[in-house]
């Protein structure tokens, strides 16, 4: 969201219309923050397989959040922004599946 704000901050027609489900995004952000804390503490997962499963689930959550924003937002530039994020999420999931 910071990248989005930095790119479109000066265009109130775009940022002013962005409809965000803050509760859903806060939930995903909480998942990411918990994963970072767990990784820093060395408690992210007991095995490599478990770490891959947890990372894959996190990517799924991010992809779902981005896809929902694509579906809601009508501005072509924002739709493309979130489409690219969702595409990156899927690429990360594919990479995790190859490990």
Overall pTM > 0.75 = no
Gap between the Cα atoms of 8 and 15, Å rounded: 6
CA dihedral (84, 71, 18, 29) positive or negative: negative
Residue ranges per structural domain of the chain: 19-98
Tell me the helix, strand and coil percentages in the chain, rounded to 5. Answer: 80, 0, 20
How many H-runs (helices) and E-runs (strands) does the chain carry?
A: 5, 0
pLDDT in tens, 40-72: 999 999 998 899 889 888 888 887 777 777 666
């Amino acid at each position: 969201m910071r990248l989005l704000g930095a790119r479109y901050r000066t265009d109130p027609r775009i940022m002013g219309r962005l409809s965000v489900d803050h509760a859903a995004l806060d939930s995903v952000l909480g998942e990411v923050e918990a994963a970072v804390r767990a990784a820093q503490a060395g408690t992210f997962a007991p095995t490599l397989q478990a770490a891959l499963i947890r990372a894959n689930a996190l990517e799924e959550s991010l992809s779902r959040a981005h896809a929902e924003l694509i579906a809601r937002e009508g501005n072509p530039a924002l739709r493309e922004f979130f489409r690219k994020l969702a595409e990156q999420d899927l690429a990360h999931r594919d990479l995790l599946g190859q490990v």
